[in-house]
Chain A
Amino acid sequence: MAKYLIKRVALALVSLFLVCFITFFTMNAIPGGPFNGEKAKSAAVMQVLNERYGLDKPVGEQFFNYLKNILHGDFGVSLKTGRDIATTIGESFKVSAKIGLLAILVALIFGIILGAIAALNRNKWPDRVIIFFVTLFTAMPSFVMASFLLLIFCIQLEWVPVWSTNNPSYVLPVLALSLSPMAYITRLTKTSMLDVLGQDYIRTARAKGVAHWKVIFVHALRNSLIPVITYVGPLTASILTGSLVIEKIFTIGGLGSKFVDSITNRDYTMIMGTTIFLAFIMILMNLVSDILYKIVDPRIKLD
């Protein structure tokens, strides 16, 4: 177990380093990139940049300075606004995190429940209905889903108000963000459960005289959830990337929309900072997911 842990953590660190590396050097390769002076910038910004990154030093050293600063929580300064990036990220992420966490919970809870219902009613109407929607939703990109939801519920039916910071309405964004992953989790749970229900040890439990509901909810579910738990990592990644478009569509001022804006505005330092931050979260969640898997499945406990 320890050996596995070390391997996984090492891999995560390597990935994070690679991301920083790619981010830094690609952004710098752009003419007018973050730190070179081909594009005219305001004197104040140039001064700050010079102080922090030593722009006259060789690129490699600049990179290490950048890394050092990141480790201290200093992500630099936005090229457009001059504001401290770390603060911006911190503030805007609060909103995104709230929506994201809700979306993860909704996707997991409903996904598992629906998947179990589908598995237990195989080929009967609940299964068919669920599978129909699952197939449909996995074919819908999140921006399509979000746009439709906005169109129908916000604009045409006016059931839900438009998002504003004073009057945040979480229903639609969370729904739009969670429907696609929920569909995937539903299918995953269903397949996993069907697989488990066909196993010999379920037959043993029945043969012992264990009540039907207990066989399903105790003996089968524990085993069925194992693949779902390993999906938590990719789930987080999908929610994070989905938030970029969701926030844009619902005009929510979260980290996602700030990221998209920085792309459109060519705010390279902001792009770098946000990318590294988001990458960190994704890599962390993948690591957590892998570790959770090893904990939950006792077969791997002793290694």
Chain B
Amino acid sequence: MAKNFDIPTPKKRLLSLQMDPKKFEPATDAEKRQQDVMAESTTFFRDGMRRLMQNPLAVMSMVILLLVILMMIFAPLFVPYGYEEMITVNGVRDPAAANLAPFHYSALEQQYIDQGGKIFPHIMGTDELSRDYFIRVVYGTRVSFLVGVFASLMVLIIGVLYGAVSGYAGGRVDLWMMRIVDIIYSLPDLLIIILLAVVFKESLDFSQIPIFANLGTNMVSMFIVFGLLYWVGMARLVRGQILTIKENEYVLAAKSIGASAKRIIQKHIIPNIVSVIIIMTAQEIPAAIFTESYLSFIGLGVALPMPSLGSLANAARSGMQSYPWKLVFPSVMIILIVLAFNLIGDALRDAFDPKLRK
């Protein structure tokens, strides 16, 4: 007799238990299913999005980004100042309106107001050339944002194509394509970017082409440089994904039950790759913005007078003692945008990476 336990009360003989005979009828399937509380299975994306939305930091970041984007688009419609326009009062240039603190007015402007005129307040004050700072920060934000997004898009397209081709082709093609990636990867990218930016600044001139005229040569050169160097990380990632998936057993399993290649790709391969790509892109955007502001700070960014958050921060250094807000505003904008993207990127990774499920 088994004796591997020790129970305080003796085991009851079966029939000494008082039981209701009715309860010994078989349970129906419906009743059993009620008992069995299983998580509802959803698709990969719905599941991930749900988890993303439950993350308070991510939601907050998305709200902030939305506000920034709205400001970027609509502020110039409300603010009557141009980004390169010196303050004029009644049509007369007002050089004394330089370096005004936020919400202050110059003497001339004050006079104008006292006489009954209306002047749109300088929300962030003015800079040393008596230009409204708020609108300059807004345009600077536009530049940084655009650079970030477009650079990442380029990285995305080039990287995904390259990586997909390399991964799918395999063999010697893959080997050589990856060798090139290795070499580019080992180059010190910032140095090369600086070099190329210098060169383009001096030698190329895109101002003839209408779309680029406003942005300036430097911006375009920056895009070119990004396109040449920054795609390698994404290419490696995509290729790695394709390789693992090619070898992965569930693709074999799907094949073995007769699923067509298209179905395999659709249901199994794409969701995995797409989530990885999205996460990486969300991390690329702040990196691009960083690089752009860094270059602008050094003086290799967008051409003046178009502001960039980096060049604004740089210009603010000279007046730092007396006018600290000139440094604070563009810096805070950079931090906000990069932080928001970083948080969203982290949240995306937490939400969509199945291995990280707690």
- Give A contacts to B, CB under 8 Å: 11-12, 14-15, 18-19, 22-23, 26-27, 29-32, 135-136, 138-144, 147-148, 150-151, 155-156, 237, 241, 244-245, 248-249, 260, 263-264, 266, 271, 275, 278-279, 282-283, 286
Contact = CB atoms under 8 A, between A and B. Distances in A.
Sorting the interface of chain B by its residue count into under 10, 10 to 19, 20 to 34 or 35 or more gives 35 or more
Nearest to B316: A147
A245 B294 contact: yes
A141 B294 contact: yes
A283 B338 CA distance: 28
In the A-B complex, list the 10 residue pairs whose CB atoms are closest, starting with the nearest: A139-B339, A282-B188, A139-B338, A144-B331, A26-B199, A15-B186, A30-B202, A241-B190, A143-B297, A279-B188
Given A27-B199, A144-B335, A150 B320 contact: yes
Given A139-B339, A249-B317, A279 B191 contact: yes
Contacts of B327: 147-148, 151
Contacts of A19: 187-188, 191-192
Contact of B203 (A12, A29, A147, A275): A29
A147 B191 contact: no
B281 interface: no
A263 B186 contact: no
Nearest to A280: B188
A18 B183 contact: yes
A38 to B, nearest CB: 12
17 contacts: A11-B186, A14-B183, A15-B183, A15-B186, A15-B187, A22-B196, A135-B342, A135-B343, A141-B310, A141-B334, A143-B314, A144-B313, A144-B335, A237-B188, A241-B190, A248-B298, A266-B202
Choose among B188, B299, B324, B342 the residue with the greatest number of A CB atoms under 10 Å from its CB.
Answer: B188
B162 to A, nearest CB: 19
A199 to B, nearest CB: 14
A245 B202 CA distance: 22
Interface of B: 182-183, 186-188, 190-192, 194-196, 198-199, 202-203, 286, 290, 293-294, 297-300, 310, 313-314, 316-317, 320-321, 324, 327, 331, 334-335, 338-339, 342-343
Given A136-B339, A283-B188, A155 B321 contact: yes
A226 to B, nearest CB: 19
B334 to A, nearest CB: 6
A139 B199 contact: no
Given A263-B194, A275-B194, A135 B339 contact: yes
Choose among A27, A29, A241, A271 the residue with the greatest number of B CB atoms under 10 Å from its CB.
Answer: A241
A130 B310 CA distance: 27
A29 B183 CA distance: 23
A147 B310 CA distance: 12
B317 A147 contact: yes
A177 to B, nearest CB: 14
B320 A151 contact: yes
Choose among A12, A26, A29 the residue with the greatest number of B CB atoms under 10 Å from its CB.
Answer: A26
B178 to A, nearest CB: 12
A283 B331 contact: no
A278 B191 contact: yes
Contacts, number: 115
B156 to A, nearest CB: 22
B335 A139 contact: yes
Choose among A27, A29, A263 the residue with the greatest number of B CB atoms under 10 Å from its CB.
Answer: A263
Contacts of A139: 286, 335, 338-339, 342
A275 B195 contact: yes
B203 A141 contact: no
Contacts of A135: 339, 342-343
Given A19-B192, A143-B294, A263 B198 contact: yes
Contacts of A26: 195-196, 198-199
B195 A138 contact: no
B186 A286 contact: yes
Contact of A155 (B298, B320, B335, B339): B320
B112 to A, nearest CB: 33
Contacts of A266: 202
B287 to A, nearest CB: 11
Contact of A31 (B203, B317, B324): B203
Contacts of B294: 141-143, 241, 245
B62 to A, nearest CB: 16
Contacts of B194: 263, 275
B191 A275 contact: yes
A264 B299 contact: yes
A151 B198 CA distance: 30
Given A15-B186, A135-B342, A141-B294, A148 B331 contact: yes
A32 B199 CA distance: 11
A256 B42 CA distance: 54
Choose among A29, A141, A151, A283 the residue with the greatest number of B CB atoms under 10 Å from its CB.
Answer: A141
Given A14-B183, A135-B343, A275-B194, A147 B320 contact: yes
Contacts of A244: 298
Nearest to B331: A144
Given A31-B203, A263-B299, A237 B190 contact: yes
B346 to A, nearest CB: 8
Given A141-B334, A144-B313, A155-B321, 12 more contacts: A12-B186, A15-B186, A15-B187, A22-B195, A22-B196, A139-B342, A142-B294, A151-B327, A241-B191, A263-B300, A275-B195, A278-B191
A46 B297 CA distance: 33
Contacts of A156: 324
A15 B189 CA distance: 11
B42 to A, nearest CB: 27
Contacts of A12: 186
Contacts of A147: 313, 316-317, 320, 327, 331
B229 to A, nearest CB: 11
